[in-house]
Amino acid sequence: MAADVAAALFDVDGTLVDTTYLHTLAWWQALAQFGHEVDAAPIHRAIGMGSDQLLDHLLGDDRDRSEDEAIGAAHLALYAQHWPGLRAFPGAAELLRECAGRGWRVVLSTSASGRELDVLRKVLDADDAVHAVTDADAVAASKPAPDLVRAALEQVGARADRSVFVGDSVWDVEAANRAGTPCLGVETGGLAAAELRDAGALEVHASVGALLAGLDDSALARPRTGER
């Protein structure tokens, strides 16, 4: 890895695009279709995990896994009904462009599948600022495993300790910290600032718009380069 490369890694769902509660509803409906009556609150708190980890978290890892693929497909079909109305959070695209302009290599690092990510990128409309993308299809284990973060760093040749991850869930914070990368939390996924800090977030901001407004005072102000 190059000593002078620093990456700004961004989760997408719930961080850059307002999707957390739509995912919660889609998983709630998909699970119910297969006879799993799971309350919405724990589903909401599991959003940010990849589907492999989410089903283990909600249904237990000792369950019959024969329906997992069908449940995941049902979730995607239900979630896809909302795609025409998706919107990026105010300031999301501007934040990516500002980070790129300050010398960060901007990477989207998401538990979404490739198909979902294509839709999210169109909604975000900031590909001109994005250096690379890593999604759930590229790794063996999704968040909170550190695989996505490590894969994103490897794609751009960045060191973990010189990079920063931005996410909205405790699973983002855990994945980043396990990869050795500090995480900035945003509250747009519906978790309280205290929860993100308790999980290990270096900073917490109300939204990516708020992070953009206070960028000069954040860990994203400038890349740390040329240090050992």
Q: Report the CATH number that the domain containing residue 192 is assigned in CATH.
A: 3.40.50.1000
Q: Are residues 39 and 13 in the same domain?
A: no
pLDDT at 112: 85
Q: Using 50, 70 and 90 to split pLDDT, how confident is the model at 50? A: confident
* CATH number of the domain where residue 63 is located: 1.10.150
User: Residue 133 falls within a domain, yes or no?
Assistant: yes
pLDDT band of 113, cuts 50, 70, 90: confident
Three-state helix/strand/coil letters over 117-154: HHHHHHHHCCHHHCCEEECHHHCCCCCCCCHHHHHHHH
Is residue 225, in this structure, part of any structural domain at all? Answer: no
144/32 same-domain check: no
Q: Is residue 223 part of a domain?
A: no
User: Which token pair is 88?
Assistant: 């990026």
171 and 107 assigned to the same domain: yes
Final residue belonging to a domain, choices 55, 84, 113: 84
Task: Tell me whether residue 224 is in a domain.
Answer: no
Phi-psi map region of 135: left, alpha, beta (phi>0 left; psi -120 to 50 alpha): beta
Torsion of CA 208, 214, 215, 217, to 10 degrees: -140
pLDDT digits (tens, 9 = 90+) for 51-61: 878 999 999 98
Quote the pLDDT of residue 24: 98
User: Are 14 and 117 found together in one domain?
Assistant: yes
Same-domain check for residues 151 and 174: yes
Same domain, yes or no: 94 and 205: yes
**Has residue 137 got a pLDDT over 90?**
no
Q: Is the pLDDT of residue 225 over 80?
A: no
Name the pLDDT band for 226 (thresholds 50, 70, 90).
low
User: What CA dihedral angle connects 142, 148, 151 and 156, to 10 degrees?
Assistant: 160
- Is pLDDT at 213 greater than 60 in this prediction? yes
β-pair partners for 166: 10, 184
- Domain limits for position 73: 20-84
Q: Looking at the structure, do residues 170 and 150 belong to the same domain, yes or no?
A: yes
Question: How many angstroms separate the first and last alpha carbons of the chain?
Answer: 13
How does pLDDT run across 99-109, given as a tens digit for each residue?
A: 999 999 999 99
Quick one: 70 and 116 in the same domain? no
pLDDT score of 228: 43
Q: Has residue 213 been placed in a domain?
A: yes
Summarize pLDDT for 163-203 with one digit per residue, the tens: 999 999 999 999 999 999 999 999 999 999 999 999 999 99
> Could you tell me if 131 and 204 lie in one domain?
yes
Confidence of residue 4 (pLDDT cuts 50, 70, 90): confident
Please compute the mean of the pLDDT values over residues 12-20 and round it to a whole number.
97
Give the 3-state secondary structure of 11-53. CCECCCECCHHHHHHHHHHHHHHCCCCCCHHHHHHHECECHHH
Domain boundary among 50, 84, 118: 84
Which has more pLDDT, 224 or 175? Answer: 175
Torsion (CA) 179, 103, 225, 157 in degrees, nearest 10: 50
Mean pLDDT of the chain: 93
Q: 116 and 191, same structural domain?
A: yes
Same domain, 114 and 191: yes
Same domain, 35 and 143: no
Residue ending a domain, choose from 63, 84, 105: 84
Counting beta carbons within 10 angstroms of the beta carbon of residue 115, is it exposed (0 to 12), middle (13 to 18) or buried (19 or more)? exposed
Q: Does residue 72 fall inside a structural domain?
A: yes
Q: In Å, how far are 27, 70, 171, 224 from 166, measured between CA atoms? A: 24, 31, 11, 16
Tell me if 99 is assigned to some domain: yes
Mean pLDDT for the stretch of residues 36-42: 97
pLDDT of residue 3: 57
Q: Residue 1: inside a domain, yes or no?
A: no
User: Is residue 1 over pLDDT 50?
Assistant: no
How many domains does the chain contain in total? 2
